[in-house]
Amino acid sequence: MSVTVSSTGGVTWARLSGEIDTYTVPDVRAAFEELAIEPGQKVVVDLRDVTFLDSSGLGAVIGLYHHVGEHGGRLQLVCGDITLRLVRLMHLDQVIDVVDASEPSEPSEPSEPSEPS
């Protein structure tokens, strides 16, 4: 498991790879806690290279979502096939802006969450 953090044009990227599970999630949480969030900032978590994601990994993402929101920022997830299925199954795509990595365009500005039906 690895986490790579970078900032470009006012957007902070956290790129995760490998297995995100009970054993590796403390490192993920530590990396998320080190992110400097500015009001209105966009934070993108790139999960395309994640090969396994369990509930503890999703918990870390949800914790980051709340942390970013408390600072007036916006969170976006970029998901590959493995992570997209789980994110949709848990209905996180109804709360967090999610980009399907199989779509041809690069991740863009997060949209406002829609009201649940």
Give me the pLDDT at residue 95, please.
95
Q: Count of alpha carbons within 13 Å of 26, Cβ hemisphere only?
A: 1
| Per-residue exposure over 12-45, b if at least 16 CB sit within 10 Å of its own CB, e if not | bbbbbeeebeeebbeebbebbeebebeeebbbbb
CATH 3.30.750.24 corresponds to the domain 2-44+52-100: yes
Give domain limits for the chain.
2-44+52-100
Residue 67 Cα to chain centre, angstroms: 12
pTM tops 0.85: no
Using the predicted structure, report yes or no on whether residue 27 has a pLDDT greater than 50: yes
What is the Cα gyration radius of the chain?
A: 13
pLDDT confidence tier of residue 12, bands split at 50, 70 and 90? very high
